[in-house]
Every structure is written in structure tokens, then in C-alpha cells.
Structure 1
Amino acid sequence: MRAVALEIPHLWKFVSHARGEVERALTSFAPSVRAATVMTASELIENAMKYGEEVPNLLTIHLRLQADAERITIEVSNGALTRERVCQLEQRLAEIASSTDREELYMNRIRTLLDNPTEKGGLGLYRIGFEGGFDLTCTFIDSIVTVTAVRGAHEHGIV
């Protein structure tokens, strides 16, 4: 079992350190699996940087990675002061989970963002679902949102 647990300050310079820690933890995994996992962890940490907030019971971003021969699980937790943003996140994750064609969902999101330059967000989650092959869920308890990404540890998908 490989495991990583990090507390990441809300400063962009720490994102590359977290990526490196995830990559080092997965050196025995296939390059495509490692790349998908690093991309997923990075996207989730970046979302926590962009949309997360410091709350009294969580002043940093928490990353947890667990990986074995069967499954890879990434959890990223951050503070959220309002339920509104979490509802938007839950809607996107439900859309990804119910999709029968994650590539089309991803491409549609790219087209939407290109056609509407003022609209923002969501592309990274669709990328995780399509390119990374991860399933995404979230919880929201005591002003802390945790996004969990899970996939098999075998090679598959686009990466």
C-alpha cells in the first residue's frame, strides 16, 4: 500500500510539491496510471486553491492518497463557507457520474467555455472523469468539502 498525506497551505507554490509527492509514491505503477493520478491530484488541489476557503476547523488543504495493486483513492479536503458552491460541485459530479460518454461530456464543456468566455469552471472535473478515468464523489460536513476520486490501478482510458 502506498500512502501520502499532506497539509497544503493556500499558496500556489505548494501545488508542484504535492504533485511531486504523488508521483514519487506511485513510481511502481504504470506510467499512464501515474500520469492520470498526478493530473487528478493536481486538478483537485488547484480547485481547492481556487474555490476553497479557510475555515476555523480546516486552515489548509488536505490531500490523502492511498494506492495498492487494485485501487487508487485520492481525497482532497478544503473549507467552504457557503453551501451554494458545494451544490454546484455536486451537480457537476452527478452529471459526470451519470454520463455514458465522458469524452462527449468533456468536449461539450470545452465547447461551452469557448462559446461563452465569461463562463468559468468545471473543465478540470470533466478531465478527471474522462482522461483520468476516476469516479468522483464529494461530502460536505461542518464547512469542509471533501472530493474523493477513485479508479482501478490498472491501465485504461486515454492517458
Structure 2
Amino acid sequence: MSKARREVERALETYSPSLRSATVMTTSELVENAIKYGEEVPSLLSIHLRLKADSERIFIEVANGVVTVERVRHLKSRLDEIAGSDDKEALYMSRIRALLEDPSERGGLGLYRIGFEGGFDMNYTFVDSVVTVTAVRGVHEHGML
């Protein structure tokens, strides 16, 4: 994980510190999710990370195998909720409260953090037992970082 953070920092050294920080955080959250929830499948034996940056946008793509379709449904539900929210801060704070109120609740905070603090929009594809989450942010947009 620290290698991915260092590589992103290095790749974006000409961008603003706040954009680098948001991109490093987003990459870390997505890679952490891929490690925690990913599974080895014949079409993808390990996690795949791709970063693309130009003068307009930052693209982060993280792919991992998924055997259980229910995990993909859960991911879709979270991403749809984030994408449909006009108040990503309220959504993030609501998720924090839910986790504090019910310790048996697990995960999901990272995706809300990406939407709120990172300012990235996310979507996903699911093909051949591989889920790919793509996070995109304009270079001149600013999130909380």
C-alpha cells in the first residue's frame, strides 16, 4: 500500500499538494478495498491499479476479482447512493454515525470519504468476475483536502 502511495505522489509531483493528497487518499482507499474484498479469479490473479492524469482530469482505476455477486450489488448500492447525493458531507457523517452506533456494522466509510474529502466521482464495471472501480476528478475541482 505504501508503494502505491509513493508512486502516486511521484507521478503527480507537478500538481497541487491538495490534489496529490486527495488522489493518494483515494488510491489508498480503493486499493485497501480491493485487498479486503477482492478474491482471486482466473481472469485476474492480483489487484490491478492504473493512474492516468492529464491537464483536465485524474483517473484512478482499481480492479480485483469477485466471486460473490452480492459484493458487487453492495458496491453498486454504495456508489449509487454517493453519486445521487447532493450533500456528500452529510452522507459521510451519516455513515460515521452508523458505524459508531452499531459496532457490528462493517466498512463502507472509505467510499464515502472518497466522494466527500477527495472530491472524486466513482463508477464501476463488472465483467468476467472482475470488478473495476474508476474514480475521476477534475484537476481544477477542489474537495475538502
Report TM bin, short chain. over 0.9
- Which stretch shows the higher mean deviation, 147-156 or 27-36? 147-156
The alignment of Structure 1 onto Structure 2 pairs a total of residues equal to 145
Unaligned runs of 5+ in 1: 1-14
In the TM superposition, residue 152 of structure 1 has moved relative to its aligned partner by 0.3
- 1:88 corresponding residue in structure 2: 74
Q: Give the SS at the match of 2:113.
A: helix
Secondary structure, counterpart of 1:57 in structure 2: coil
Q: CA RMSD in A?
A: 0.6
Q: Is the 8 A contact 2:39 2:66 kept in 1?
A: yes
Question: What does residue 115 of structure 1 align with?
Answer: 101
What amino acid is the match of 1:96? Answer: I
Equivalents in 2 of 1:146, 1:82: separation in Å?
Answer: 15
83, 89, 92: which one pairs with 1:97?
A: 83
Query: Any idea what the Cα deviations from partners look like across 1:2-56, whole Å, max 9, x if unmatched?
Result: xxxxxxxxxxxxx111111111000000000000000000000000000000111
Residue type matched to 1:89 in 2? L
Percent identity for Structure 1 against Structure 2: 70
TM-score by length of 2: 0.99
Alignment gaps of 5+ in structure 2? none
Aligned partner (choices 32, 35, 43) of residue 46 of structure 1: 32
Q: Which residue in 2 is equivalent to 1:129?
A: 115
Deviating runs (4+, > 2 A) in structure 1? none
C-alpha deviation, 1:155, in angstroms: 4.7
Q: Return the alpha-carbon distance in structure 2 between the equivalents of residues 89 and 61 of structure 1.
A: 17
Q: Show the counterpart of 1:32.
A: 18
Report the Cα distance in structure 2 between the residues aligned to 1:151 and 1:158, rounded to whole angstroms. Answer: 13
Matched to 1:100, the amino acid is D
1:78-130 deviations in Å (ceiling 9; x for gaps): 00001100000000000000001000000000000000000001000000000
1:46-78 Cα distance to aligned partner (Å, 9 max, x none) = 000000001111111000000011100000000
